[in-house]
């Protein structure tokens, strides 16, 4: 019986020490992780809207009057050039085949896509994961949100990943209506 108590006490001490060590490591590295995450976001924003000198995050997101199907607006950034807004960059979430797809999408003041980057996804490796490829994403650059574009007519679908392709196109179409509502703000 004494042996069981000794083993239980030893196990408890080891577990408490491990939890304490993990808590210390987390508190030490948390600020560095946040700093690097902010740096990565800044670099991504610059790739999406290379014409901008700075980006200003909107503190509150305007409600969309029309419902935007399968699209969540997570953040909006103003792309500023010498203090003047030249476009907007949206961080959005849409539904893909394997789960949510988080994107950064840049739109100029004229309503043209300036860039797009996939930040997170759970799409099938080798198929749906090709939504990250520059070849796929670059075909959206310069497309007008005012003139709707379609898969296989304007955008070449990823072979074997139609759902993932549609998710990206749907995100752009949903952003078009949201952009129309918020662009004057």
Give the pair of three-digit tokens for residue 110: 């004229």
- DSSP H/E element including 41: helix 2-48
Whole-model pTM: value is 0.80
E strands present in the chain: 54-57, 71-81, 84-95, 100-108, 113-120
Beta bridge partners of 118: 103
| Percentage of residues of the chain with pLDDT beyond 70 | 97
| Strand order from edge to edge, sheet including 71-81 | 54-57, 71-81, 84-95, 100-108, 113-120
Which of 78, 95, 96 lies closest to 179 in space, CA to CA? 78
Rounded to whole angstroms, the Cα distance separating 119 from 94 reads 12
Q: pLDDT band at 51, cuts 50/70/90?
A: very high
Query: For residue 115, what pLDDT is reported?
Result: 93
Buried b (16+ CB within 10 A) or exposed e, 45-84: bbebbeebeebeeeeeeeebeeebeebebeebbbbbeeee
Query: For residue 76, what pLDDT is reported?
Result: 92
Q: pLDDT band at 64, cuts 50/70/90?
A: low
Give phi and psi for 50, each to the nearest 5: -65, -15
Least reliable range by pLDDT among 9-18, 98-107, 158-167 = 158-167
Q: Which of 35-39, 44-48, 94-98, 150-154 has the highest mean pLDDT?
A: 44-48
Query: For residue 169, what pLDDT is reported?
Result: 87
Give phi and psi for 15, each to the nearest 5: -65, -45
Instruction: Tell me what the mean pLDDT of segment 141-160 comes to.
Output: 81
Q: pLDDT band at 67, cuts 50/70/90?
A: low
Task: Give yes or no for residue 109 having a pLDDT over 70.
Answer: yes
């Amino acid at each position: 019986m004494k042996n069981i108590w000794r083993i239980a006490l030893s196990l408890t001490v080891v577990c408490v020490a491990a939890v304490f060590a993990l808590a210390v490591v987390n508190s030490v590295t948390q600020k560095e992780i946040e700093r690097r995450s902010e740096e990565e976001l800044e670099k991504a924003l610059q790739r999406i809207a290379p014409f901008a000198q700075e980006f200003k995050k909107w503190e509150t997101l305007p409600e969309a009057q029309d419902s935007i199907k399968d699209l969540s607006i997570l953040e909006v950034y103003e792309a500023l050039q010498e203090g003047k807004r030249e476009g907007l960059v949206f961080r959005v979430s849409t539904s893909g085949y394997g789960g949510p797809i988080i994107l950064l999408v840049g739109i100029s003041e004229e309503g043209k896509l300036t860039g797009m980057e996939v930040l997170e996804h759970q799409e099938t490796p080798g198929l749906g994961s090709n939504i990250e490829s520059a070849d796929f994403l670059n075909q959206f650059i310069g497309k007008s949100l005012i003139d709707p574009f379609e898969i296989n007519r304007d955008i070449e679908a990823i072979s074997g990943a139609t759902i993932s392709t549609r998710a990206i196109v749907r995100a752009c179409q949903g952003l078009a209506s949201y952009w129309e509502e918020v662009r004057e703000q």
